[in-house]
Structure formats: C-alpha cells, structure tokens
C-alpha cells in the first residue's frame, strides 16, 4: 500500500490505499466489542465497492468497482485473526485502468502486546509486493521486526497502539459520551515503517431498530437489538510537515460500528474521491468460548 500526503495518489497506488484502509476499518470494528464486555461475533462478510464521489476534474477517478471478502475469528484467550481480500478496479478520467488484488492476514493478542501482519498486493499483471512482520510491546517501547519488504528492526514510542487497542479506546470514549479521541497507531501498512496520528470522531449511538439503508446485518436476528455508533477516523502521516499549522489527512474512513464487532456502511475519503463499501453478504460463524481460567 502507498499513501502520499497532500498529493493526488497515482492511480496505481490507490487500490493499495483503499484496500489497507478498508482492512483497517474491518479490523477496527471486529475488535471493538471487548471494551463493552460483549463477545466478539466470529463472522464472514463481503462488501461491494463503488465510487461514491469524485473531485478535481481532469485528475478525477471516473469509476471504481470491486469486492472485499472478510473473515474474522478468535477469542480473548487465543487472540483475534482477520483474513481480508480485496479485488478492485479503478478507472481514471484519462482512460487509465488499474486492477489490484490485495490479501491481508493479521493477528493481535487480547492485551494489545503483540501484533503480526502480512500483506500481499498485486497490481495489474505485475509481481506481487509484500509486507511481513511482527510488533511487540516491551516496557516503554514497541519493537517492530520486519521480514519484508526488507529485513529490519526498529522501535516505536510506547504510546503507539495497534488497531485493537485503538478501538478499545474508541469504544470506551463512546460509552463515556466523548466525541473525539486522538491516538498514534501502527498497523504494518505502507512499507511496514509508517506510523499515523489519528483523530476519531464518534457520533451518537444508534439503536438497533433504527435503519435507513438496510443490509444483511440490519435484518439479522443477532444484530437487531444491538447499538451501533457512527465513527470517522482520519489518518495523518506523522512524519509529514503541515502547511500553516494545518495538515490534511491522508485519508479518512467512516463506518457504523456494532457492539459485537460487525461493521457496515463503509466510506473511504481520499480527498479527491470517495469509495463506498456496501455490506451485501453476512454469515455468523460458530465460536469457541474461552475455557474458565484460560485468560
């Protein structure tokens, strides 16, 4: 994935950005329920991708299409695994088309101390590029060990959080009635070395029986009684310099977050265009509860 701060992404870079961001959104939602002491819901879901809005005239994206397949499993005692695949196509106003196939797997323990990730992306007929590594929290810092794209070890500030911890804090803030939360996040994206400052804007809770745009989640008996929150998370390149004290986010992702970790109504805003992800298939998977004393 590539994120280019304050510049319109090259068309070949956009699918990596969109894919990693959506993976992040799904991971965020899948791990949120623990903060509310509600069991996560192991599930499979698919999302239909489409262009919601395009800006900037000649440099605009004319159309976007694709699908996301997402599988979430795990428990508090064994950690949480997400498997993600996105196949998407973007068409530019100058007739340029880019097809991407992105596959991502990640695992994070329930305490947010260890995070493993692997991302492989293939653009058009080119060779696949990958990021593979592990991040572990020890003492007052986080140590990251990369295998790909190059073998490298480096440390991050101990205040940096992984995606699960990020959402735990978002949910805690939501339940306290707070509307804003700032965090520094590491998710293994880009070349495995990127760290982002994030700002989460949390809306008012939505009761389960309030539905304006139905999808398979809103019609599922498991979901009908659950509260959800509208959440928008803006990502800022920590190392980028701002102009006049203001920094434009690299991208922002919005979604509705259920108490049991299912997400719906995805939107990705890259400043020059917006991609929507509509939940069109949803299946609850069998779960294995933790054994007493296992955690």
pLDDT at 181: 94
The torsion defined by the Cα of 123, 61, 85 and 49, in degrees rounded to 10, comes to -150
Backbone angles phi, psi at 63, to 5 degrees: -155, 155
pLDDT at 164: 74
Please identify every stretch of the chain with a pLDDT value under 70, giving residue numbers as ranges.
Answer: 1-37, 56-59, 241-245, 292-295
pLDDT at 12: 41
Contact present, 262 and 29 (Cβ < 8 Å): yes
> What pTM, to 2 d.p., does this model score?
0.81
Annotated domain spans of the chain: 14-107+159-284
Contact present, 291 and 77 (Cβ < 8 Å): yes
Q: Residue 247: is it exposed, middle or buried by C-beta count within 10 angstroms (0-12/13-18/19+)?
A: middle
End-to-end CA distance of the chain: 35
Backbone angles phi, psi at 20, to 5 degrees: -65, -35
Backbone angles phi, psi at 166, to 5 degrees: -55, -45
Contacts of 254 (CB under 8 A, 6+ apart): 230, 231, 232, 233, 265, 266, 267, 269
Contact present, 5 and 233 (Cβ < 8 Å): no
Identify the residue whose tokens are 């605009």. 60
pLDDT digits (tens, 9 = 90+) for 45-76: 999 999 998 886 645 788 889 999 999 888 88
Distance of CA 15 to the CA centre of its chain: 14
């Amino acid at each position: 994935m590539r994120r280019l701060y304050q510049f319109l992404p090259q068309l070949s870079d956009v699918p990596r950005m969109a894919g990693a961001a959506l993976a992040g959104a799904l991971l965020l939602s899948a791990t949120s329920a623990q903060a509310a002491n509600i069991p996560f819901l192991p599930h499979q879901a698919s999302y239909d991708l489409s262009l919601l809005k395009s800006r900037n005239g000649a440099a605009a994206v004319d159309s976007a299409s694709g699908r996301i397949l997402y599988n979430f499993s795990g428990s508090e005692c064994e950690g949480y695994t997400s498997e993600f695949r996105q196949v998407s196509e973007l068409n530019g106003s100058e007739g340029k088309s880019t097809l991407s196939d992105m596959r991502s797997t990640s695992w994070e323990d329930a305490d947010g101390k260890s995070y493993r990730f692997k991302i492989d992306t293939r653009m058009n007929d080119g060779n696949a590029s990958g990021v593979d590594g592990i991040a572990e929290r020890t003492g007052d810092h986080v140590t990251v060990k990369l295998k790909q794209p190059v073998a490298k070890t480096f440390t991050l500030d101990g205040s940096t959080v992984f995606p699960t911890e990020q959402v735990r804090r978002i949910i805690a803030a939501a339940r306290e009635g707070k509307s804003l939360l700032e965090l520094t996040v590491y998710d293994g994206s880009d070349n495995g070395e990127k760290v982002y400052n994030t700002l989460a804007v949390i809306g008012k809770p939505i009761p389960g029986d309030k539905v304006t745009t139905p999808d398979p989640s809103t019609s599922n008996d498991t979901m009908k009684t659950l509260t959800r929150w509208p959440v928008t998370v803006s990502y800022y390149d920590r190392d980028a310099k701002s102009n006049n004290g203001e920094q434009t986010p690299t991208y922002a992702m919005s979604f509705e977050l259920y108490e049991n970790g299912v997400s719906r109504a995805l939107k990705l805003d890259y400043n020059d265009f917006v991609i929507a992800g509509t939940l069109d298939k949803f299946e609850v998977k069998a779960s294995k509860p933790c054994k007493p004393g296992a955690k």
